[in-house]
Structure 1
């Protein structure tokens, strides 16, 4: 039997010797196809996990329901499962041991629920998990051994939680393959590298955006492989101390986002002038309306920089020589400003420029 799309509503369908009934859910794919079988139970108003779930399901979507509590007994072993979406389902508790039913899971989405802690047994057994979303919860603490078995984890999203102190993130570093760590909007007021680790990490991307940081400090070379650093919308009340004790500590960073960083003009200028990272080629300096465009360009066009984005900075005109420091740029974005006049000679030094964005400005010709 091959079924392209089978909607199950209070019926029992059999395949060979097995049978199941899954009220109001949709099963997409052939029941005997272990590569494609999808069970779709999203937006069904469920308060309990529907059952029985086809044992060879490859992907399950139970998002946008009202489960509240998930028990280990709600699931049989699902050895074939690779993706599971339980987001937006009011989940405040998941019984330890539940994850052992999904030993081959690769992607798990628990975003936008009401979890307050990551317990020791919440993720136990997910040795093949590569992507984990816990963003949009209420997480305040993570058990020190919660990530002990996640040896394959590459991407972890903890954005929009209540971790408050960088030290509370430390348990996730037990995942030896972790490359992308998203911890924006967690109410961190201080980032000290020593609070996270004193030894080198495998991280390639770290997102600290939307945290009220008063201090960003790196005193150990814990990010030797970091490609991307996002500090956009960080700072508080115009103060954020920037202290990197060795200029080479972030030498591998290729892309830096300082959009709307809450620092005085002179402090941000000093930060940019002290950046000598050999790999940096992309810089975002958007939503910095309190800074004079000329000063921002003078300090922001770093040697080796190829891509510069300055959106929503309130720039009204581009005058002669303003872009002279930016001769190495290949891409420049001035979108969403108030530019009404452009000097005829402003681009003469930009001999390598290939792409220029001027969308949503006040240019008339």
Structure 2
């Protein structure tokens, strides 16, 4: 006992001696910033989103790249920031920064990029701006989303002579004073989007000879006149309130390549006489009603601008746009497709006129509607969402390079071609038009590869409607009660790869398909098919959608045809029989991915009612057994086996008793596992006394 007390006393003194050191280490661990959480490399440190309120102090020397965004730092001062004399890149976006020390910035002579977006730099902006004037070598500056007004932003960026990229988006600027950018001769890219800019004073961009990209989207500009930035490459003026865009004649051609004027209130096609290098022009979501020379806007109201006197609407607005390859005029108020307007656009490959009010096509003269003299180089054309009832044959002749056309949501009826019928001219163009000449010919268009006729109210697809048009994809969806005879897709047997008949409410009597040897993707969803068209069984399908039909099962020929090609399938919304799911087992065995298997149901049926269950957990024991194996017969078989087994046990027991009586054999006999055990003799009695009468 004494030895134990002595040992405890000795160890206790040792613990008391170590306690201050342990507490001090613990205290230092709590006070020291958790710099170990930062991801560090010799020259790059990232402390993004660590909940920091101050700069981590213990960082490696020679750091050039520091990311400390998404934290809670309020001050950028030398008192809480270690020395980073070699720092070139600093990202402090999404903090609570409101004060910047001039002493700190003076110690960052190598800083080239400073990202301070989403902070509170509208506070203390005068003192902060003086500190910014020390950033002599700064090239990239992000001041977005700092609640800066026009005068605040101008004070911050003044005297930054090396700046090449400036982001002032998502602030509260309402105007651009003439002198705001005067000290930035090397500025290359300027982002002013998502402000409230209503006025740009003359000379605001003067002297910016290196400026190539300007983003003024999401502002409140209503007029651009005297546009003279000839060196500009990209200009985004979308989502403003522009009613007029007018460029001045210049001695040098404009270098503009991308111009976005979408989501404005333009009434006319903009005048761009010197924009010879323009390749992408977006005029969607405006109020342009006509592209014909000398046309007037409905109502013929006069815009209240002095510049309207210099705006000559009789000029051919597209005369100088010789390099435009992509033109978007969707969501306007156009009523006529003016083919002559696009003749001067010799490089136009992609054109969208979707969701206008187009009803007809105008040739060389609107009255005569004659065939145009020159072909258009279009390859992709979107005319969806208009009011076309007819497209004349010469319209397609004027588009010899056309590869894809979207005619969805119109009222076009395909014509019948007789080129491949018995007795017809195999190479001819004879056709039988619908009554009144209201059908549109889609045959003999050898370049056309992709065609959409969805939601055109097509009720009957004529035979050989696409003869000698080697389509790769065809969309006929959304045409309710469409009748499609087997000959309708005649001529597409060895070209068609993708076919959509979605949402047509077709049954088996309205859809016959030929043997489409190259078909890979098929959408039959939203119909009333009770079995798949037999023409599909020779196709090498890779993707099949049969959702929302009346299928009870999949036929054996399909399972025999597709196991090596089919990769994915959608099946939900069909009344599959829970007792006929061998097809599903075959699909699984073939590695086919059923994308909506968890949503698919199957149905049971008995004498009184029908009920459904998930197809993935069907209790197949409820299904009827083959003939001769009814539940009652199975029950009788089981009971017979049980009675026979019990009889064997009893006979064996009786045999044991008889053997004991006559004294034959051993008194130890084997007992079957399910037979009753033989009773052991009572204490003091022998086996002979038990079996003796």
Fold shared by both chains (TM-score > 0.5): yes
Q: Is structure 2 residue 102 aligned with structure 1 residue 96?
A: yes
Deviation per CA, 1:173-225: give whole Å up to 9, x if none: 3122111111122211122333x155463311221111111332337x5x342
**1:360, distance to aligned residue in structure 2 (A):** 9.9
Partners of 1:129 and 1:346 lie apart in 2 by: 57
> How far 1:155 moved relative to its partner?
0.9
Q: Kindly indicate whether the alpha-carbon contact (under 8 Å) linking 1:232 and 1:259 is maintained by their aligned counterparts in 2.
A: yes
Q: Does the 8 A contact of 1:63 with 1:89 survive in 2?
A: yes
Tell me the residue number matched to 2:256. 253
Question: What's 1:77 paired with?
Answer: 83
What is the alpha-carbon root mean square deviation over aligned residues?
A: 3.9
Please tell me whether residue 193 in structure 1 is matched to residue 205 in structure 2. no
**Alpha-carbon offset, residue 42 of structure 1:** 1.3
User: d(CA) in 2 for partners of 1:241 and 1:27?
Assistant: 52
Local SS of the residue matching 1:226: coil
Consecutive unaligned residues of structure 1, counting only runs of 5 or more, are 1-9, 13-19
Cα offset, 1:295, TM superposition: 5.9
Match of 1:291 in 2: 288
Q: Does 1:128 align with 2:137?
A: yes
User: Is 1:339 paired with 2:384?
Assistant: yes
Q: Identify unmatched segments of 5+ residues in structure 2.
A: 1-26, 294-315, 356-382, 410-451, 455-473, 475-693
* Alignment of structure 1 residues 259-338 onto 2, 5 Å: 259-263=262-266, 265=267, 268-269=268-269, 271-272=270-271, 274-288=272-286, 290-292=287-289, 299=317, 302-310=320-328, 313=331, 321=339, 324-325=342-343, 327-332=345-350, 334=352
Contact kept, 8 Å, 1:329 with 1:350, in 2: the verdict is no
- 1:1-365, aligned counterparts within 5 Å? 22-23=34-35, 25-29=37-41, 33=42, 37-116=43-122, 117=125, 119-140=128-149, 141-142=151-152, 146-147=156-157, 150-167=160-177, 170-194=179-203, 196-199=204-207, 201-218=209-226, 221=228, 223-235=229-241, 240-247=243-250, 251-263=254-266, 265=267, 268-269=268-269, 271-272=270-271, 274-288=272-286, 290-292=287-289, 299=317, 302-310=320-328, 313=331, 321=339, 324-325=342-343, 327-332=345-350, 334=352, 339=384, 346=395, 349=398, 363-364=453-454, 365=474
Provide closer, same or farther for how the CA distance between residues 320 and 282 of structure 1 changes in structure 2, counting only shifts above 3 A.
closer
Q: 1:286, 1:309 within 8 Å by CA — same for their partners in 2?
A: no
Answer yes or no: is the 8 Å Cα contact 2:318–2:341 preserved in 1: no
With 92-101 and 323-332 compared, the bigger mean Cα shift is at: 323-332
Structure scoring higher RCO (CA < 8 A, sep ≥ 6) equals: 1
Do 2:88 and 2:113's aligned partners in 1 also have CA atoms closer than 8 Å? Answer: yes
Q: Decide whether aligned partners of structure 1 residues 244 and 334 sit closer, same or farther in structure 2, where only a CA change above 3 A counts.
A: closer
Matched residue SS, 2:239: coil
Tell me whether 54-63 or 306-315 shows the greater mean CA deviation: 306-315
Distance 1:186 1:74, change over 3 A: same
**TM-score normalised to the size of structure 2?**
0.41
Q: Match of 1:98, SS? A: helix
**Alpha-carbon distance in 1 for matches of 2:247, 2:291:** 26
Distance 1:173 1:65 in 2: 34
- Secondary structure of the 2:339 match is coil
- Give the secondary-structure state (helix, strand or coil) at the position aligned to 2:93: coil
1:248, 1:276 within 8 Å by CA — same for their partners in 2? no
TM-score norm. by structure 1 comes to: 0.73
Q: CA deviation at 1:245?
A: 4.6
1:315 to 1:144, Cα distance in 2 relative to 1, 3 A: closer
CA distance 1:350–1:230, change in 2 (3 Å): farther
Distance in 2 separating the partners of 1:52 and 1:336: 60
Distance in 1 of aligned mates of 2:28 and 2:351: 57
- The alpha carbon displacement at 1:98 in A equals 3.0
Change in Cα spacing, 1:54 to 1:305, as seen in structure 2 (3 Å) is same
Change (3 A) 1:280 1:61: same
Distance in 1 separating the partners of 2:404 and 2:186: 38
CA contact (8 A) 1:66 1:89 kept: yes
Count of aligned positions: 328
The 1:241–1:309 alpha-carbon spacing in structure 2 relative to 1, beyond 3 Å, is closer
- Partner Cα distance (2:170, 2:405) in 1: 31
**Structure 1 residues 244 and 328 mapped into 2: Cα distance closer, same or farther (>3 Å)?**
closer
Preserved contact between residue 247 and residue 275 of structure 1 (Cα < 8 Å): no
Is the 1:191–1:215 Cα contact (8 Å) retained in structure 2? no
Hey, what's the Cα distance between the residues in 1 that align with 2:82 and 2:408? 54
8 A Cα contact 1:100 1:124, kept in partner: no
